[in-house]
């Protein structure tokens, strides 16, 4: 007897009706898929700005007045010179970098690349009156100060590279001589005005004369640069509050030790000393003590 298999079809449940999404005025209308693509000119245009607070070349992103653009280099210099912990921290950052082996790596094995690498090597290590370690030591000051600026000084080379222009030195421009960063306004196709770095104005001793160094002759190192803030952010910024509190407590402790740790002062005088002299000696002894007893 042949077996038969019966397949029973389960009854289908009624399909739910499709719900149409309603959009309110607050939600806005759904995007139209038939909208034409954005023009290439608009895609290539920059429509926003960095938002860096730059007033007449002075960066004012720092909220603490004690670390403003002009005060920060003075404070950070005081921190790295007067505090042993800060000095050790800066040395821990910079000494491994300075002790590393620096060299020029050719792009490939072609004769042109090798000759170009030789030219750069001779320029950095065999030309001018500045050693590479001197340049590195000053360049790494961008860590405690937030930035470091150098002016490129050129001169004609001789010997194998006779007739070629080389870097005679990278002249260091101390951080607290930076007066302002100068930017030129550039209008984008959409009408948005951007800033393009043009120069750095320096006000330095001994004559304190305002001098503009063009961007083409500058090398600027900025630590944790955000937007157009060439001042950068110092590695000591987060430690400033703790350094300040410790410095104040040191002063209070020093004053307390100066007044309270002098012991018990006393004086000896002869029997025939006038009373006015005795009163004067007592006054001097009282001034050397914390209380008037």
pLDDT in tens, 48-69: 788 888 888 898 889 999 999 9
Which one is predicted more confidently, 291 or 219?
219
Distances (CA, A) of 168 to 18, 23, 72, 130, 216: 78, 69, 31, 8, 16
Above pLDDT 90, what percent of the chain?
57
Predicted confidence at residue 48, as pLDDT, reads 78
Mean pLDDT of 144-165: 94
* CA–CA gap between residue 159 and residue 111 (Å, rounded): 20
Q: Residue 168 above 90 pLDDT? A: yes
Q: Which residues does residue 222 pair with via DSSP β-bridges, in sequence order?
A: 147
Which one is predicted more confidently, 183 or 43?
183
* CA–CA gap between residue 174 and residue 213 (Å, rounded): 13
Mean pLDDT for the chain overall: 84
| Cβ-Cβ contacts under 8 Å for 182 (sequence gap 6 or more) | 57, 197, 198, 199, 200, 201, 212
pLDDT in tens, 256-286: 887 777 677 788 888 888 889 889 988 888 8
Contacts 24+ apart (CB under 8 A), 166-172: 166/123, 166/127, 166/128, 167/123, 167/124, 167/127, 167/128, 168/127, 168/128, 168/129, 168/130, 169/128, 169/129, 169/130, 169/135, 170/130, 170/135, 170/139, 170/219, 172/138, 172/148
Q: Residue 123 above 70 pLDDT? A: yes
pLDDT in tens, 223-244: 999 988 999 999 999 999 999 9
* CA–CA gap between residue 119 and residue 161 (Å, rounded): 8
């Amino acid at each position: 007897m042949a077996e038969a298999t019966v397949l029973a079809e389960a009854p289908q449940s009624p399909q739910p009706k499709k719900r149409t999404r309603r959009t309110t005025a607050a939600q806005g209308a759904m995007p139209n898929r038939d909208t034409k693509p954005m023009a290439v000119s608009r895609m290539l245009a920059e429509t926003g700005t960095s938002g860096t607070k730059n007033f007449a070349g002075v960066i004012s992103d720092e909220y603490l007045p004690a670390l403003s653009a002009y005060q920060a280099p003075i404070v950070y210099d005081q921190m790295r010179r007067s505090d042993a912990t800060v000095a050790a921290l800066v040395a821990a950052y910079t000494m491994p970098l300075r002790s590393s082996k620096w060299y020029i790596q050719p792009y490939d094995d072609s004769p042109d690349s090798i000759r170009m690498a030789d030219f750069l090597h001779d320029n950095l290590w065999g030309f001018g009156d500045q050693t590479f370690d001197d340049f590195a030591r000053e360049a790494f000051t961008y860590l405690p100060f937030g930035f470091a600026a150098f002016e490129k000084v050129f001169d004609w080379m001789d010997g194998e590279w006779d007739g070629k222009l080389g870097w005679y030195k990278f002249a260091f421009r101390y951080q607290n001589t930076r007066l302002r960063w100068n930017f030129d306004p550039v209008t984008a196709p959409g009408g948005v005005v951007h800033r393009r770095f043009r120069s750095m104005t320096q006000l330095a001793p001994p004559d304190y004369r305002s001098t503009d160094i063009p961007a083409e002759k500058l090398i600027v190192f900025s630590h944790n640069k955000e937007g157009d803030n060439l001042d950068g952010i110092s590695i000591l910024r987060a430690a400033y509050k703790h350094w300040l509190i410790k410095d104040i407590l040191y002063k209070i402790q020093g004053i307390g030790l100066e007044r309270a740790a002098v012991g018990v002062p006393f004086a000896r005088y002869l029997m025939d000393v006038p009373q006015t002299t005795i009163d004067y000696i007592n006054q001097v002894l009282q001034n050397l003590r914390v209380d008037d007893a």
